[in-house]
Amino acid sequence: MSSPEPSRRLTIGEALREAIAEEMRRDESVFLIGEDIGIEGGFGGAFGVYLGLPEEFGHDRIVNTPISEKVIAGAAVGAAALGMRPIADMQYADFLFECMDELVNQAAKLRYMSGGKISVPLVMRAPVGATNRGAQHGQSPESYFVHVPGLKVVCVSDAYHAKGLLKSAVRDDNPVLFFEHKLLYGSKGREQAGGLDLTAEVPSEEYLVPIGKAVVKRSGSDVTVVATHLALYRALAAAEELGTEHGIECEVIDPLTLLPLDVETVWSSLRRTGRLAIVHEDTLTGGWGAELAARAAEECLFDLEAPIKRIASLDVPMPSAPSLEDAVVPSVERIKTVIRQLRD
Amino acid sequence: MSSPEPSRRLTIGEALREAIAEEMRRDESVFLIGEDIGIEGGFGGAFGVYLGLPEEFGHDRIVNTPISEKVIAGAAVGAAALGMRPIADMQYADFLFECMDELVNQAAKLRYMSGGKISVPLVMRAPVGATNRGAQHGQSPESYFVHVPGLKVVCVSDAYHAKGLLKSAVRDDNPVLFFEHKLLYGSKGREQAGGLDLTAEVPSEEYLVPIGKAVVKRSGSDVTVVATHLALYRALAAAEELGTEHGIECEVIDPLTLLPLDVETVWSSLRRTGRLAIVHEDTLTGGWGAELAARAAEECLFDLEAPIKRIASLDVPMPSAPSLEDAVVPSVERIKTVIRQLRD
Amino acid sequence: MAALAAQPDPETLAGLYRQMLLIRRFEETVYYLFLEGEIPGTLHQYQGQEAVAVGICDVLEPTDWITSTHRPHGHALAKGVTPRAAMAELFGKSTGCCAGKGGSMHLGDPSVGMLPAIAIVGGGNTVVTGLGLAFALRRSEQVAVCFFGEGASNEGAFHEGMNFAAVRRLPIVFVCENNLYGASTRFDAVSALVDVAGRAAAYGIPGRVVDGMDVLAVREAGASAVARARAGEGPTLLECKTYRFVGHSRSDARGYRAAEEEAAWRERDPIPRLRAILGVETAEGLEAEVEATIADAVEFARASPDADPQEALTDVLA
Amino acid sequence: MAALAAQPDPETLAGLYRQMLLIRRFEETVYYLFLEGEIPGTLHQYQGQEAVAVGICDVLEPTDWITSTHRPHGHALAKGVTPRAAMAELFGKSTGCCAGKGGSMHLGDPSVGMLPAIAIVGGGNTVVTGLGLAFALRRSEQVAVCFFGEGASNEGAFHEGMNFAAVRRLPIVFVCENNLYGASTRFDAVSALVDVAGRAAAYGIPGRVVDGMDVLAVREAGASAVARARAGEGPTLLECKTYRFVGHSRSDARGYRAAEEEAAWRERDPIPRLRAILGVETAEGLEAEVEATIADAVEFARASPDADPQEALTDVLA
Ligand SMILES: Cc1ncc(C[n+]2csc(CCOP(=O)(O)OP(=O)(O)O)c2C)c(N)n1
Ligand SMILES: Cc1ncc(C[n+]2csc(CCOP(=O)(O)OP(=O)(O)O)c2C)c(N)n1
Ligand SMILES: [Mg+2]
Ligand SMILES: [Mg+2]
């Protein structure tokens, strides 16, 4: 391998595009399937991730489908069962409910039903998050899939991990649900995400990020905070303010994979802090935070010095009005308030 | 009202049939919709609950559908939005994934989307449980629906509560997912359910059981055990044996409603026992037990004298072979072993 | 209601013109307000398709119901949602028809016979069967209309809804607005059949292709389909060939279709077409009326309070 | 493979007879073993429909694939799953084709080109498009066959799968086994169209009604549909009119259909029909052969160990 080139700063959208292109070059069996992908003069998928790919890979391997989610998922399952590696696209994660049977009853179970004779190496990408579009275009439904044995569930929040994890997902022999947050793609500039810098350092050399490994985004000794997607950045902002304003030092962890969940990284932090807060944009009741809290209450009960707190979207359908949506999703203020309670 | 008649012993199947018939008599807007219901010489639904109803109510109000789950749920949503009160039938809960969009994106959200101008008073009945039929006919998927704001989720385990809760569900102005366990209908005799007596005392007078209220099935001072469906009976059996063999007295609670969950009844027990075990046939990770454990870890942390234990089906698709299925679902032995750990 | 003569009376013509114009101006105005940052979220707009919503809703009774899609502004206004309530909803105001909880993609109002629009493609196609079923069970004479796009006809929901409605002869009219594209995808790239109406035969019901750029043609086809449904003869599939003059959603640069194609369809704009029949004088009167109505709606929306954050927790359960 | 002459050579005829008889005896045997309590769960059996699975699979290559349903025993044996592996799977033994994890409703074996049967009605109709897509992307000459019932043709999955396969001209043959009933429900009670084949036109592909009680007719229709798919000309919908002689599932008393109807269809039993062509001598030889095969399969299943509880945790993830 030649001398390492300098890394670049990429958005998540650009990083995902690179990951897809590299995997398609590497492996003939990788192909794309979804709605409004690979259309001349089109959007390159709902968030532009596929722009430029048809020019390199042609239209055979970029399968533009009818508006038929059951076919998108079902075709991915069938092709994967024969050893192809589909990267399927759901325009909004809200539409996954249209192919829930194909994902839960087929993709996740076929291997087991076959006695291990087949595997289903598919990736289903789906954008989550509230963007003033209301109840059917603003959900973060990743938690439903955490309940499905036979699936893996990944949530990415920065370009570096997005690229490395998508490449790992494509190479994984199991069905992987790959969730991305609409406001973090970087395609529409930073203001949308509240002024966040949506780019990250991405090496020029090929690399993989393993599925099932969490990362510590900020170290601290007082409270362990586990958060994903946009909520991760809100948690980091809250952590900074809590540090300066109240001397509360939060250790902030991005699990990156929700199934299987890397509890070891969380426990090693929790054993030091004795306090756990979980933050996600998916709704509270039955959300993935419940599973993490339940495991902590079994595996680390005697390390806990304070109740486990979950900060999530309120248990309501997502409203469209900004004034309502802002009240529903976890805000920096709400995160701060709850974490301060942990220290009282 | 005349002098009370003696109560009878009914199976859950008979009790559900009575509830449906009474509500159809009481309210013209109640109707049934599903596959293989109301067919001359047919099964009366997958578990015979509808037998005899066409004779009394005719075929208009018993809508036999094509094999179209999206229509069963979608038609129920539309009719309910106009003030009808559909009782929809899913032959096996495993098929709910075929109408997940109608349940999660439509039924649960239409009221909120309308700003409260409409309500969706539907009931969706679905049988759960493993019966040596394998991965696509043996799930207990109630936990997926516990994550849906806008729904209510009921799990019944005896004839008395089944009848009273179904009547309440029909009268409820919200969408109610009503889960029944295949081995508890009593239609096929007791041996199927491991020798359980599948009948219970049911008053002859009309009565309702409120949604959102748990019941204590056995009192005890050492460990609080929360369980539903067939797992409830296994928990009760385990409790008896633990009492006689080890002097461990379990308080066994049937939540009956999973959403909203009656935590008060659980907490008042937990505050006395300091120990909590949760048992369900739905799979472990992301199951409803996680939500209950998470709430306990927030609301009752300092009452806990031992880690919270969840005993559930292993995180695998349901296998068909009896030798495998028995290893996957919670057994009396597994429940006993875990509860004993709570006392060590 | 029996089928109509081709040329309706002047009041009817004026009403059709007013309604189409109302929708056109509403859409042009909200597009501007969106760019100005006064309207949040996104917009799926209806310019070019006005003849469909207006022609169909004109032959419906107030007690009849419709279901709509992610592109509901035209359907809402045509069925009787007030411009004020619709505009305020887009603004996210408490005075909106959904109290600010629905937004652009969920406009609706039960008091005028419109469910909150369903933004899941094909979602209305199964839900509408429940409306028809309720009417049938109540032996009422009401009819339900399901508006959907040609793209939705590739969803399983289209199939299940059509089949169930057909076999039970439910009082439903399925109105497919074939505007050639589902987002950026041409229908002929995702269906071997170019006419959605051709799918009606699979359910044993009539399917009819209608010029969706001619409000009178739509109205006449709608009238007979509605009459058929009311008479208990079952559902009809009407395919209205139409075109959206603007992008799929607010951010669409329309690079996937030819300027010539757009120009050719603009030639067939239903509004000038009716204006020619109506005469300049009448038209100008109605245009002034519409401008005033829209201006009032914008004022109302601006003056209305934001949805109160406290309200975020209400209306989840009844 | 080109279309065949109506009357195949003697070996082919013998093969068809052996396969149909193998399925018939397998089903009769497992029904008995079920009643005896040796087989757990439930059974959806295939008696009466043998001509469909056998006629179709006879014109497939070992490298071709099929998808199946909740009623898969016939499809599995016809495609080449061994009677031993199928029988052991029904017994829940570790030597079953799915190691005891699948059971009666999920028989399958990739090594003979059969996915684990999908017991969700319509489930195979979308998954099969992925098989066809894989073949197309690899430019292989393989063909995929999707077996499904007439009841499944009312599922959204049927619609989405047919449309997608048609527009991409995938190498797929959709074989609908119209046995008149979906569980207890007659098709004419849930579809306004009596011929499922009539729905092919909605996707611009050929649809053909076939006598599903005549293995030679099925084989011929299958051969041309398979040839068409192999040639890259796209999918075909074959509707085989057939009948299940037994109940829907093990516990079905069949009260919803008339004894006369059952008798009339038994008259058309495909096995005696072919036996007449084949001649008694050949037939008896094959019958003895089949009896021995079934006896061996039962013995094998009985002698095999139960699936090991330790194995319950394996094969979830690759
Ligand atoms: C189930 C589902 N899939 C995909 C989408 C994303 N989407 C929104 S509109 C649209 C195109 C719809 O096309 P068509 O039905 O023709 O209606 P039109 O937009 O042309 O009015 C798509 C794919 C969605 N909202 N719902
Ligand atoms: C999605 C789904 N809905 C319902 C069922 C229950 N079910 C099993 S078989 C069956 C009837 C299927 O009829 P058909 O497709 O004609 O096949 P057949 O049983 O006649 O072979 C039904 C309703 C199911 N397995 N899956
Ligand atoms: Mg369109
Ligand atoms: Mg059938």
Hey, what amino acid is at B223?
V
pLDDT of residue C123: 98
pLDDT band at residue C2 under the 50/70/90 scheme: very low
Which whole number is the average pLDDT over D179-191? Answer: 98
d(Cα A119, Cα A111) in Å, to the nearest integer? 5
Task: Give CA D250 to chain center in angstroms.
Answer: 18
Beta bridge partners of A156: A180
pLDDT at D1 over 50: no
B66 vs C contacts (CB less than 8 Å): 160, 163-164, 167
Helix C156-167, helix C123-137: angle, nearest 10:
20
pLDDT at D4 over 50: no
| Average pLDDT of chain B to the nearest whole number | 96
Q: Is A3 buried (19+), middle (13-18) or exposed (0-12) by CB count in 10 A?
A: exposed
The number of the ligand 2 atom at minimal distance from the alpha carbon of D70 is 9
d(Cα C277, Cα C10) in Å, to the nearest integer? 10
Which whole number is the average pLDDT over D284-301? Answer: 98
pLDDT of residue A195: 75
pTM reported for the whole predicted model: 0.98
Tell me the two tokens of residue D3.
Answer: 């279309």
Query: Is the separation of the CB atoms in D287 and D74 below 8 Å?
Result: no
d(Cα C84, Cα C105) in Å, to the nearest integer? 16
B309 vs A contacts (CB less than 8 Å): 298
| pLDDT tens digits, one per residue of D48-79 | 999 999 999 999 999 999 999 999 999 999 99
Tell me the two tokens of residue C172.
Answer: 């439903």
pLDDT of residue A3: 57
pLDDT of residue A191: 62
d(Cα D237, Cα A116) in Å, to the nearest integer? 32
Query: Is the separation of the CB atoms in C103 and A320 below 8 Å?
Result: yes
Q: Is A267 buried (19+), middle (13-18) or exposed (0-12) by CB count in 10 A?
A: middle
- Using CA atoms, how far residue B148 sits from A322, B103, D177, in Å, is 22, 9, 38
Beta bridge partners of A63: A33
pLDDT band at residue B194 under the 50/70/90 scheme: confident
A173 vs D contacts (CB less than 8 Å): 317-318
CA atoms within 13 A on the CB side of B1: 6
d(Cα B194, Cα B206) in Å, to the nearest integer? 31
A135 vs B contacts (CB less than 8 Å): 105, 109, 112-113
In sequence order, which ranges of chain D are alpha helices (DSSP H)?
10-35, 50-57, 73-79, 83-91, 123-137, 156-167, 215-230, 259-266, 270-278, 280-303
CA atoms within 13 A on the CB side of D23: 32
pLDDT of residue D7: 83
Residues composing chain A:
344
Testing ligand 2's pocket by substitution, the residue of D42, D120, D121, D153 carrying the most ligand atoms inside 8 A of its CB is: D121
Question: Is the CB of residue D116 below 6 angstroms from any atom belonging to ligand 2?
Answer: no
Helix B12-26, helix B159-171: angle, nearest 10:
30
In sequence order, which ranges of B92-153 are alpha helices (DSSP H)?
100, 110-113, 142-146
Q: What is the DSSP letter of B104?
A: I
A341 contacts chain B (CB < 8 A): no
Helix/strand/coil (H/E/C) assignment for every residue in chain A: CCCCCCCEEEEHHHHHHHHHHHHHHHCCCEEEEECCCCCCCCCCCCCCCCCCHHHHHCCCCEEECCCCHHHHHHHHHHHHHCCCEEEEECCCHHHHHHHHHHHHHHHCCHHHHCCCCCCCCCEEEEEECCCCCCCCCCCCCHHHHHCCCCCEEEEECCHHHHHHHHHHHHHCCCCEEEEEEHHHCCCCCCHHHCCCCCEEEECCCCCCCCCCCCEEEECCCCEEEEECHHHHHHHHHHHHHHHHHHCCCEEEEECCEEECCCHHHHHHHHHHHCCEEEEEEEECCCCHHHHHHHHHHHHCHHHCCCCCEEEEECCCCCCCCHHHHHHHCCCHHHHHHHHHHHHC
Largest CA distance in chain C: 53
d(Cα C160, Cα C142) in Å, to the nearest integer? 22
Query: Is the separation of the CB atoms in D294 and B311 below 8 Å?
Result: no
Q: Give the Cβ contact number of residue D8 at 10 Å.
A: 18
Determine the residue among D120, D150, D251 to mutate to test chain B binding: the one whose Cβ has the most chain B Cβ atoms within 10 Å. Answer: D120
Pairwise CB contact (< 8 Å): B35 & D183: yes
Hey, what amino acid is at B28?
E
d(Cα D178, Cα A1) in Å, to the nearest integer? 61
Residue C107 neighbours by CB under 8 Å, 6+ apart = C68, C72, C73, C75, C76, C81, C86, C89, C97, C98, C114, C116, C117
Q: Which chains touch C (3 or more CB pairs under 8 A)?
A: A, B, D
d(Cα C88, Cα C298) in Å, to the nearest integer? 8
Question: Is the CB of residue A89 below 6 angstroms from any atom belonging to ligand 1?
Answer: no
pLDDT of residue B4: 61
Which of C85, C80, C69, C90 lies closest to C27 in space, CA to CA?
A: C90
Testing ligand 1's pocket by substitution, the residue of C52, C70, C105, C243 carrying the most ligand atoms inside 8 A of its CB is: C70
Which of A274, A276, A177 lies closest to A227 in space, CA to CA?
A: A276
- Measured by CA distance, the residue closest to atom 5 of ligand 1 is C121
- Using CA atoms, how far residue C287 sits from B74, C25, C300, D100, in Å, is 40, 9, 20, 74
Burial call D133-163: b when 16+ CB within 10 Å, e when fewer: bbbbbeeeebbbbbbbbbbbbbbbbbbbbbb
- pLDDT per residue of chain A (344 residues) written in tens, 0 to 9: 455 677 899 999 999 999 999 999 999 999 999 999 999 999 999 899 999 999 999 999 999 999 999 999 999 999 999 999 999 999 999 999 999 999 999 999 999 999 999 999 999 999 999 999 999 999 999 999 999 999 999 999 999 999 999 999 999 999 999 999 999 998 765 566 777 888 999 999 999 999 999 999 999 999 999 999 999 999 999 999 999 999 999 999 999 999 999 999 999 999 999 999 999 999 999 999 999 999 999 999 999 999 999 999 999 999 999 999 999 999 999 999 999 999 87
Question: How far is the alpha carbon of A111 from chain B, nearest alpha carbon, in Å?
Answer: 10
Catalytic residue among A137, A161, A181, A280: A137
C184 CA to middle of ligand 3, Å? Answer: 9
D69 contacts chain A (CB < 8 A): no
Percent of chain D scoring above 90 in pLDDT: 97
What is D123-168 written as a DSSP string?
A: HHHHHHHHHHHHHHHTT----EEEEEETGGGGSHHHHHHHHHHHHT
Q: Is B216 buried (19+), middle (13-18) or exposed (0-12) by CB count in 10 A?
A: middle
Across the interface, which of D102, D184, D189 has its CB nearest the CB of B320?
D102
Question: Is the CB of residue D120 below 6 angstroms from any atom belonging to ligand 2?
Answer: yes
Q: Which of residues 215-254 of B touch C (CB under 8 A)?
A: none
- Using CA atoms, how far residue D30 sits from B292, D43, D102, in Å, is 45, 9, 16
Query: Is the separation of the CB atoms in C133 and B63 below 8 Å?
Result: yes
pLDDT of residue C298: 98
More reliable by pLDDT, A193 or B138 = B138
| pLDDT tens digits, one per residue of C5-27 | 568 999 999 999 999 999 999 99
B314 vs D contacts (CB less than 8 Å): 312-313
| pLDDT tens digits, one per residue of C174-214 | 999 999 999 999 999 999 999 999 999 999 999 999 999 99
Hey, what amino acid is at C177?
E
pLDDT of residue C28: 98
Residue position matching structure tokens 């003569």: C5
Query: Is the separation of the CB atoms in C27 and C47 below 8 Å?
Result: yes
Across the interface, which of B66, B137, B326 has its CB nearest the CB of D154?
B66
Query: Is the separation of the CB atoms in B218 and B234 below 8 Å?
Result: no
| pLDDT tens digits, one per residue of A217-251 | 999 999 999 999 999 999 999 999 999 999 999 99
Question: Is the CB of residue C123 below 6 angstroms from any atom belonging to ligand 1?
Answer: no
Hey, what amino acid is at A106?
Q
Q: Is the bond leading into A260 cis (omega within 30 degrees of zero)?
A: yes
pLDDT at B154 over 50: yes
Q: What is the DSSP letter of C154?
A: G
Complex ipTM: 0.98
pLDDT of residue B99: 98
Question: Is the CB of residue C239 below 6 angstroms from any atom belonging to ligand 1?
Answer: no
d(Cα C152, Cα C147) in Å, to the nearest integer? 10
D32 CA to middle of ligand 3, Å? Answer: 56
Q: Which helix (H) or strand (E) holds B180?
A: strand B176-181
A161 is catalytic: no
d(Cα D149, Cα D147) in Å, to the nearest integer? 7
CA atoms within 13 A on the CB side of B183: 26
Q: Which chains touch D (3 or more CB pairs under 8 A)?
A: A, B, C
d(Cα A59, Cα D55) in Å, to the nearest integer? 37
